[in-house]
Structure 1
Amino acid sequence: MKTGINVIITGTTGMVGEGVLHECLQDPQVETVLIINRRPSGVSHPKLEEIIHTDFFDYSDITEQLTGYNACFFCLGISSVGINADDYYKTTYTLTMALANTLSRLNPEMTFCYVSGASTDSTEKGRIRWARVKGKTENDLMKLPFRQVYALRPGFIRPIKGLSRIHGYYRYINWMFPIGRALYPKGFCTLQELGRAMIRLVQHGYPIKVIEGNDIIALAKQ
């Protein structure tokens, strides 16, 4: 029987998912990690398993491989820039809920951590399209029969040095981090802090379900 934290991570071929995976592989409280990707990640580790799966809207053929986990760190996401409304909704809301519905049925004792974003609109009524869609995703995730659901809302994320999937523009704006952190800590966290915060949420829980930047920093220090 598995003990400790046994986590499924999505989005590990992107910057946030790669960083969260890195933190999980380093943390002794995390026992096993399963990643689901469309293409191989190229990462090898004794406690890592990988499923190559092409249809992120249907998991019926791999359900047996998704049982026995007590955490999911959902790090898969896209920018709303340059994408039409229907495609953004499908990729952000429908895709997320497809996995969440499957996992809530298979692992009701799971803690589901969703990487959302700063300024997400919980009312679903604001003017900004992406914020409404993220807000609906958060709200509907909270309704699923998981043990716990948390929506993490990082703003500026400083990447982990040495990892390979860092967005190119961070090379030009990383200098902003120390200034932003000093003036507005709620909007600035490190990717290391984000990964650690998710692990701590599984271990200890948190009194609120929407985790803003200050909460991410506080959780990472626990």
Structure 2
Amino acid sequence: MAETQPLRVLVLGATGLTGGKVVNGLLERSEVAEVVAPVRRPTGVDHPKLTQPVVDFDDLAAHSELFDVNVIVCCLGTTIKKAGSQEQFRKVDFGYSLKAAGLGRSAGARAFILMSAVGASANSKIFYNRVKGELEDAVRELGYPYLSIYHPGLLLGQRQEHRTAEALGIKVMPLVNRALLGPLVQYRGIEAATVARAMVNEVCGLATTADPVVGRQVWTYPEICRLAGDEPGLI
């Protein structure tokens, strides 16, 4: 049996829909020794394995010591409406994420798991997808030995803030999913809890791998379901 090396994991976007579930899942696993979850303001959450430093995301380099971890899970993300402009959206989704990835690589992190989006491409005509694709390309250039990118469709789950368009999409998604077959299956809506379980399982699998290496690995709906331990269903 392979020897297990307890992991120190940093989670970005820990107060978001998926990131919060990733943090909770990691805290329950014996493969994880510590979860570092930088936040903008105190959350009041207390756990012996959880470190939640309050940081200025505009100056992540001032907190470079936090990135001395084995694995980074990046679930950072916003919307153009919430950010206020395309420029601010890009600062969060691209700028913060890439800066964190660079700090982690410089500190010796071996694995980076990135929440992106289905349709992400630097060549996309859609601004949101183009920014996501540009981030993927930039992170690949950092040379992480293990890089895993998630391409979920619409994330289903109860958010703290109300997003009208997403709320409408969630209501019709069970019907839409049934129509998305074959190559269109990657566009199915998926529960944020499923994506989080997949990420947690993937992270914990690295505890038995001394020097993980993987190519440009991208997970879509079917693979995410399998990583989560679910059969790819219709919802």
Q: How would you bin the TM-score normalised by the shorter chain?
A: 0.7 to 0.9
Distance 1:108 1:7 in 2: 9
Partner of 2:115: 115
Partner of 1:32: 34
Partner of 1:179: 175
Change in CA separation of 1:137 and 1:207 when aligned onto 2, cut-off 3 Å:
closer
Aligned residues of 1:57 and 1:98 also touching (Cα < 8 A): no
Alignment of 1:1-222 (within 5 A): 3-54=5-56, 56-67=57-68, 69-81=69-81, 83-109=84-110, 111-121=111-121, 124-159=122-157, 165=160, 167=162, 174-184=170-180, 185-186=185-186, 187-202=188-203, 203=205, 209-221=217-229
Per-residue CA shift, 1:12-39, capped at 9, x if unaligned? 2222211222222233333311100010
Distance 2:161 2:176 in 1: 19
Per-residue CA shift, 1:141-171, capped at 9, x if unaligned? 11112221122111122227xxx73646576
Aligned residues of 1:3 and 1:31 also touching (Cα < 8 A): no
TM-score (norm. length: structure 1): 0.82
Identity of aligned residues (%): 23
The alpha carbon displacement at 1:53 in A equals 0.5
RMSD value, Cα: 2.6
Aligned residues of 2:147 and 2:215 also touching (Cα < 8 A): no
Aligned residues of 1:12 and 1:35 also touching (Cα < 8 A): yes
TM-score (norm. length: structure 2): 0.78
Distance 1:47 1:92 in 2: 27
Which residues of structure 1 form unaligned runs of 5+?
A: none
Distance 2:174 2:55 in 1: 39
Which residues of structure 2 form unaligned runs of 5+?
A: 207-211, 231-235
Distance 1:132 1:77 in 2: 14
Q: Which structure has greater strand proportion? A: 1
Distance 1:129 1:51 in 2: 32
Distance 1:172 1:84 in 2: 23
Change in CA separation of 1:107 and 1:34 when aligned onto 2, cut-off 3 Å:
same
Distance 1:117 1:200 in 2: 19
Aligned residues: 213
Partner of 2:233: none
* Paired residue type of 2:192: L
Change in CA separation of 1:190 and 1:197 when aligned onto 2, cut-off 3 Å:
same
Distance 2:32 2:194 in 1: 16
Change in CA separation of 1:180 and 1:219 when aligned onto 2, cut-off 3 Å:
farther
Per-residue CA shift, 1:107-161, capped at 9, x if unaligned? 242x11111112212xx2221111111100011111112221122111122227x
